[in-house]
Amino acid sequence: MDISKLTTNGKAIYLAYDHGVEHGPVDLVGQSIGPEYILDIAVKGGYNGVVFQKGVAQKYYTKEYRKKIPLILKLNGKTAVYGKNREYFSAQVCSVDEAVRLGAVGVGYTIYLGSEFEPQMLQEFGKMEEEAHKRGLIVLAWVYPRGINVEDGSSPEITAYAARLALEMGADIAKIKYCGSTEGFKRAVESAGRTKVVLSGGAKTDNPEDFLNVMRSIMEAGAIGVAVGRNVWQSENPLEITEKIKEIIWKN
């Protein structure tokens, strides 16, 4: 699948904003409670895509935005309330049809590798991926190792497994967490083969330089970029940190 609609010279920066489902308003500090603020950052920051759940897309991603910023629609989700003390399961809440109607260029789906409910998520992903590709949509797999069978969800071994799973399942882009080292991430990128790898940002770091160092590491490891949320829109100056991230991604 050609991913050029979601990349610039093969590299990418996406603005993730599905936290209203995953974490709730507690994450949406200051102006970030308003989706207009996020769209503004995405457009002004020259992002390659913005990630929304369908409700936000229906009410805020108006037709005029289609020309300004590509939409990646998240098709499944789970809340932090349900997730507490339970095994990880993210159910599909939006169809590929609806994604097309809303003007999405790509669709995203979370798989919890190692969860008791992994089989359901793999099956659902499989169906979704076939349909999305038939409709010409780019498929992004958020692959997070989590659940009763996962001892260390951020080990290099399981991170490489997450990246490989994305390739094997037909994803065009794998969105995975950092595993702590450039060498470990390199193995993940290698394991993903022709599926491209982006970093899944993570919680906002106290010192922005810590996040930028992770960016340097994953780019050196061969990732194509990042899907970042909190480190940008929780920042006091989202466009300034955006520029610094972009400089690392496109410096070559």
Residue at shortest CB range from ligand FBP: 201
Instruction: Rule CB under 6 A: say whether 198 interacts with ligand FBP.
Output: no
Find the catalytic residue in 109, 144, 161, 178: 144
Query: Least CB distance from residue 195 to ligand FBP, whole Å?
Result: 17
| Catalytic residue check, 175 | yes
3-state secondary structure of 94: coil
Residue 15 vs 169, nearer CB to ligand FBP = 15
Among 6, 13, 16, 107, binds ligand FBP (CB under 6 A): 16
Instruction: Rule CB under 6 A: say whether 35 interacts with ligand FBP.
Output: no
Phi first, then psi: give them for residue 238, nearest 5 degrees. Answer: -60, -35
Phi first, then psi: give them for residue 138, nearest 5 degrees. Answer: -80, 135
- Single-letter residue type at 70: P
Among 48, 115, 191, 200, binds ligand FBP (CB under 6 A): 200
How far from the centroid of its chain's Cα atoms is residue 162's Cα? 13
Q: Give strand ranges (E) for the chain.
A: 12-16, 49-52, 71-74, 76-77, 91-92, 104-113, 138-145, 173-176, 196-200, 225-228
Instruction: Rule CB under 6 A: say whether 88 interacts with ligand FBP.
Output: no
Among 103, 156, 180, 202, binds ligand FBP (CB under 6 A): 202
Task: Give dist(CA 106, CA 215) in Å, integer.
Answer: 23
Query: Least CB distance from residue 93 to ligand FBP, whole Å?
Result: 14
Which has the closest alpha carbon to 248: 231, 222, 225?
Answer: 225
Angstrom distances, CA of residue 203 to CA of 11, 107, 155, 200, 211: 22, 23, 18, 10, 9
| Catalytic residue check, 127 | no
Residues 227-246 that bind ligand FBP (CB under 6 A): 227-231
Query: Least CB distance from residue 212 to ligand FBP, whole Å?
Result: 14
Find the catalytic residue in 175, 186, 196, 204: 175
Query: Least CB distance from residue 228 to ligand FBP, whole Å?
Result: 5
Q: Give strand ranges (E) for 44-187.
A: 49-52, 71-74, 76-77, 91-92, 104-113, 138-145, 173-176
Among 19, 164, 187, 246, binds ligand FBP (CB under 6 A): 19
Which residues are the active-site residues? 144, 175
Residues lying near ligand FBP in the complex (CB under 6 A) are found at 16, 18-19, 22, 51, 142, 200-202, 227-231
